[in-house]
Structure 1
Amino acid sequence: MEFGSLLIPLGLVPSMFILYFMVGRYEGKFREKNILLAFVIGFILGLFIYLIEMGNIPVGKKIYLFDIFIIAAAFSFLEQTAKLMVLNARFLKDDALPLYGVAIGAGYASTFAPIFIRSIEVSLYGIAIAIIPVLVLLLTCYSAILIAIGIKKDKKAIQFFYAYIFSFIVWILLLLLFNFKYQPLQFSLLFIAIFALTAFAVYHAYYKLLPFSMLRRQELKKIL
């Protein structure tokens, strides 16, 4: 049974949970309509890009290192550019833009994450395989937050660069994981690396980026 194929509809469940976890404490500081709209747009965008990327990853074949770098560079640029275009839309430009970034990322990754595991059957690695889409979801939200903060703070170029480099690293790790799915040691080490990167991203976004970026000017002046 193809485990990855089951996660496309199920991807909405962890996406909604993560969205609530990340933005719930800011209730009253964002427009619910915009959160929902951003999530739906992210979902549609993710489905479109998922179909493009799914057709360009050689399933069941070893991916050479040079190809991994090319794929990672191209897909990272495509994804971050798409997020930038959506988040730069006029109807999302208010003080809650970083939260809309979370919504875009959550909706986007709910269809996108299974691309890495669609060819892996349920096995001894089932637990790790089931966790990977959730990690990808969190990592995608993080890069969207970086871009949203860049737009809000008028630092689009540098924040886009950070998001691109972050996404590039994530893609390399995931494609290597895809390559070594039947080699327990390499698979385990790569999974640990991805898990650690996700832990950093969640901590940095939840405790550093979002709280600071959601402060009003008066609150910032008090801190500074």
Structure 2
Amino acid sequence: MNFFKRAARAAAALALSVAGVIALGGTAHAGSSGQQLMVVDNKNTATSVKVIGLDQNGNSAQGCFNTPDFKNAISGWWWQGNVTVVAYNGQNCTGGDNWSGSTNVPASRPGGDWWAIVTGDNSPAATQQIEFFDNQGIAYSMYVEGTNQANQWVGHCVATPGWDSLDSNWWWRGEVHITTYPTSDCSGSSNGYYVRYVNGSGSGAYWFGVTD
């Protein structure tokens, strides 16, 4: 799997505590369809999340998962179709919700079986490096341009051969433009264009998650 190849150095940091799990119609588990979820908390406000949707067999399922880190892998639970995520201030889905959203998780996707859910963008507060999650499985490089830590408009090409790719040592703030390519060097016709807002309030103000 591309994700594990690219992110092996961070595997130890992907700790996830699971509590208060409730399943309706059968707990989701590894199967022939669906994706596991990675909750990427740019806002740095979610202590736990409730996930509601369908498992790989089309059965209704929901679970509560503690999310102490910037990246939180909900492994062993497989989802497809419309999935709703509700974030809470406290552990075990207590303390009131602070954000929610829905995403359409495909039954299968090119290059792996993980799907990133990234919290929303905010107004810029500080500079961060970008971590790119290729949910569509189509980006082998991306051209990133925007304002750097010196308030200069700059851009460069980054190879993105896996699902989880790091734009290391380039620091951004505010509006960032990302153009993806099916080649490894940003050549040829692009296959995606995205505008994101790096907010600088994430985990230690080091990384900001972006997905296509």
The question of a shared fold, defined as TM-score above 0.5 by the shorter chain, is answered with: no
TM interval, shorter chain, is under 0.3
Higher strand share: 2
Higher RCO by CA contacts (8 Å cutoff, separation 6 or greater)? 1
Query: What TM-score, normalized to structure 2?
Result: 0.27
Higher helix share: 1
Query: What TM-score, normalized to structure 1?
Result: 0.26
